[in-house]
Amino acid sequence: MHKLAATVLPGPRVLKGWLYVLSGALLALIPMIPAGVSAVAWTPPAARPWTLALFTAFFATLMAWPRFIRDAHAHFASVLLGVRVPQPRTHTWPDRVRASVWVVAHCAGGALLAGLTFAVWLSAISPVLFWLDGGNSIDYYFFTMEVPGDRSGLWTLPLAFAEIALLGLFAAALIAVYRRFAPLFLAPRAAERVAVLEERTAVLTQRDRLAQELHDSIGHTLTASTIQAQVAGQLMDDDPELARKALASIEESSRTALEDLDHVLGLLREGKAPRAPHRTLADLDALLEHVRRTGTEVTSTVEGVLPKVPATVSREAYRIIREGLTNALRHAPKAPVKLKVDAGPRWLTVELTNPMTSAGSSRHGGSGLVGIVDRVRLLRGEVAFAPVVTAEGERWRLFARLPIRSGA
């Protein structure tokens, strides 16, 4: 009984549902104007009621083709019917057909409910008015009914309430039908929802990659700049010219990092999928020169033809080298670094070593190394980083091997 009362009796949810269904009657007036003109011009008087309905349905179908009509129905169905109808992302011909069916059903249901509401309220109130006016005979639907003017005419009150309650039950049933089928006709199709999910996943993946890229880029810049500032401070009195070069390098690298950061933040504010600048092994010499300006000796050996390395592999190899150099600067400042890059016919190998220090023995859990592992695994390569004992003593070694060809 409580659920029945909540469905029929006035309330925010019920009134919104009534408003949505009755809005279909107002919407039906738009196609009824050209439909009425067409019915009068092309059909005989006896057939005009049927042709008016057909022409109205036809023009309502055409009216549903613009995308904004479907978008508006999805929005108002969500607000007034209380169902979740996501905004559609596409508007193909199947979408137009579904929207047309819904618009025609909305117009028909709205016109039906509006007509019944007017007729039922009139038939419910008329006996009560005749009773209050002293009684009289009344044509009630398909028969004539005598309404007395004394106390015996009180039966007109429960009759009126019964008719209004039946109207409420019918409206509640109609609203329930609209709530049930609104997502089916207005919400995005399964393929469209999958496409939206894939798009969101791509954006999140790109932003996660961006976060790792910012960590690598800005982390490298800050580490190198810190060491260069220390070098400049030490050389300020003995070699001012070299100190000025170190400060100029700090300024240049900091400006580049700020430009990259401003670019990324601007894209994030606009809600776009950010694309950070992609550097490859073609930028390796500039990276090594930037590290050498910190006073760190870097010995590099390059074998093979780097320009022939696929762009994806070249980009990830550059990031691996940059992260390895950053770790070397952070944990073993000014210690000599050896880098070997070998671009073979099937594999690209990167090996970076530097002397171990007391600070460099705790390099296992950094997010930079985790990012290297993720990159290498994504390309189905191999990676290892650990202390090793060589003829030169104990050294930290980073080794990565990336397949150049998919069948490697």
DSSP 41-64: HHS-GGGHHHHHHHHHHHHHHHHT
Q: What is the mean pLDDT of residues 372-383?
A: 83
- Architecture of the structural domain at 193-277: Up-down Bundle (1.20)
| Closest of 362, 243, 355 to residue 299, by C-alpha | 355
- The overall average pLDDT reported for the chain is 78
Distance from C-alpha of 20 to C-alpha of 80, rounded to nearest angstrom: 6
* Structure token digits, residue 105: 């059903």
Distance from C-alpha of 75 to C-alpha of 182, rounded to nearest angstrom: 11
Label residue 196 by pLDDT band (50, 70, 90). Answer: low
| Closest of 66, 63, 68, 50 to residue 103, by C-alpha | 63
Q: Check if the beta carbon of residue 332 is closer than 8 Å to that of residue 286.
A: no
The per-residue pLDDT for 4 is 45
The yes-or-no verdict on residue 2 having pLDDT over 80 is: no
The per-residue pLDDT for 322 is 86
Q: Check if the beta carbon of residue 186 is closer than 8 Å to that of residue 77.
A: yes
Distance from C-alpha of 89 to C-alpha of 197, rounded to nearest angstrom: 12
Q: What is the mean pLDDT of residues 268-281?
A: 60
Label residue 14 by pLDDT band (50, 70, 90). Answer: confident
Distance from C-alpha of 76 to C-alpha of 80, rounded to nearest angstrom: 6
The yes-or-no verdict on residue 8 having pLDDT over 50 is: no
* Structure token digits, residue 131: 């009773």
Across the beta sheet with 393-403, the strand order is 298-304, 337-343, 347-355, 393-403, 382-390
Label residue 5 by pLDDT band (50, 70, 90). Answer: very low
Could you tell me the end-to-end alpha-carbon distance of the chain, in angstroms, rounded to an integer?
71
DSSP 3-state of 141? coil
Q: Where are the domains of the chain?
A: 2-188, 193-277, 280-408
Q: What is the mean pLDDT of residues 327-349?
A: 87
The per-residue pLDDT for 61 is 85
The yes-or-no verdict on residue 281 having pLDDT over 80 is: yes
Q: What is the mean pLDDT of residues 22-34?
A: 88
The per-residue pLDDT for 255 is 65
Distance from C-alpha of 408 to C-alpha of 406, rounded to nearest angstrom: 6
Distance from C-alpha of 275 to C-alpha of 209, rounded to nearest angstrom: 9
Residue 337: strand pairing partners: 298
Q: Which residue has the higher pLDDT, 379 or 239?
A: 379
Q: Check if the beta carbon of residue 254 is closer than 8 Å to that of residue 221.
A: yes
* Structure token digits, residue 137: 């005979």
The per-residue pLDDT for 86 is 76
- Architecture of the structural domain at 280-408: 2-Layer Sandwich (3.30)
In angstroms, how far is CA 1 from the centroid of its own chain? Answer: 42
* Structure token digits, residue 251: 């300024």
Distance from C-alpha of 43 to C-alpha of 55, rounded to nearest angstrom: 11
pLDDT in tens, 210-246: 566 666 666 666 666 676 676 667 667 666 776 676 6
pLDDT in tens, 132-183: 888 778 777 777 878 887 888 888 888 889 988 898 899 889 999 999 998 8
The yes-or-no verdict on residue 284 having pLDDT over 80 is: yes
